[in-house]
Amino acid sequence: MLSVYRASPFRKKNLSPPPTVSTSRSTKTPTQFDFCSTVNLIGGHDYGKRPKQRQADCSSAALAEGSSIRAIERMTGVHRDTIMRLGVRVGQGCARLLDEKMRNLDCRRIELDEIWGFIGKKKANVSEYDDPTYGDVWTYCAIDAETKLVPAYKVASRRNVPVTIEFISDLKSRLNNRIQMSSDAMRSYGEAVDTVFGTEVDYAQIVKTYGTDESKYSTPERKYSPSRILSSEKVWMQGQPVAKYVSTSYVERV
């Protein structure tokens, strides 16, 4: 122990001595609560988990946050091929969990939309010599506007009536009650909803008109930005949908 108290100056002024300062390091053993989650996973603190398990947890968390494969490889030291295989395993497990738990739901307002993507290359650039799995991918998604729950989804290489009917049929099998449904103006939705639900649904479409932006905000930086909405119209399709709840705002943010 090293004391910083010096007797004579403080005795003259009748002051109490300052507290002593210890130069020895604390012997406290750090716990998992002393570190953030990332340090706990990749910083070498075990807490009952093997190193491989910690790396797998960190890789899965980073994938869920949208990090790139190579960025995760640099952060964790796990090879990118291993990360991709892990992503497939985690995705398959999540699919089984969703299929098992998303049953007998009491949803009231459902919004529908599709998300476009591609594997390898876009459909227009696929040749006869390419991998048959290359090309466009469409992910159908349904979301509960009140709870933000995703009761059903479907991944397909095409966006047509048969695929849409499969998606709507899966959605209906998970619901307990009559719902109000909203979607965009894709033509296959109308036929699929009529085939699967018949008159047992309150369904409307919201038709949005997009256009190029010719205003002062039209700059080169906005070249790849989404087009601006010029107008929108709500179209009745089936049942008695409440007009103020006809929207696809939540599902479009997914």
Mean pLDDT of 100-122: 94
Mean pLDDT of 84-113: 93
Q: How confident is the model at residue 49 (pLDDT cuts 50, 70, 90)?
A: low
Output the pLDDT for position 219.
65
pLDDT in tens, 21-46: 554 555 544 444 444 454 444 444 44
Q: Is the pLDDT of residue 228 over 90?
A: no
pLDDT in tens, 76-95: 889 999 999 999 999 999 99
Examine residue 199 and state whether it is found in any structural domain, yes or no.
Answer: no
Output the pLDDT for position 251.
93
Q: Is the pLDDT of residue 182 over 90?
A: yes
Q: Say how far apart CA 90 and CA 180 lie, in whole Å.
A: 32
Number of domains observed in the structure of the chain: 1
Output the pLDDT for position 14.
53
Examine residue 128 and state whether it is found in any structural domain, yes or no.
Answer: no
Q: Is 137 helix (H, G, I), strand (E, B) or coil?
A: strand
Mean pLDDT lowest among 40-49, 68-77, 94-103, 175-184: 40-49
Q: How confident is the model at residue 190 (pLDDT cuts 50, 70, 90)?
A: very high
Examine residue 129 and state whether it is found in any structural domain, yes or no.
Answer: no
Output the pLDDT for position 47.
45
Show contacts of 199-204: CB within 8 Å, 24+ apart.
Answer: 199/238, 199/239, 201/238, 201/239, 202/178, 202/238, 202/239, 202/240, 202/241, 202/242, 203/237, 203/238, 203/239, 203/241, 204/180, 204/234, 204/235, 204/236, 204/237, 204/238, 204/241, 204/243, 204/246
Output the pLDDT for position 217.
55
Examine residue 70 and state whether it is found in any structural domain, yes or no.
Answer: yes
Examine residue 251 and state whether it is found in any structural domain, yes or no.
Answer: no
Go through 81-107 and write b for each residue having 16 or more CB atoms within 10 A of its CB, e for each that does not.
Answer: eebeebbeeeeeeeeeeeeeebeebeb
Q: Say how far apart CA 176 and CA 165 lie, in whole Å.
A: 19
Q: What are phi and psi for residue 183, nearest 5 degrees? A: -150, 175
Q: Say how far apart CA 182 and CA 109 lie, in whole Å.
A: 8
Examine residue 74 and state whether it is found in any structural domain, yes or no.
Answer: yes
Examine residue 73 and state whether it is found in any structural domain, yes or no.
Answer: yes
The residue range of the domain holding 50 is 29-101
Examine residue 254 and state whether it is found in any structural domain, yes or no.
Answer: no
Output the pLDDT for position 229.
78
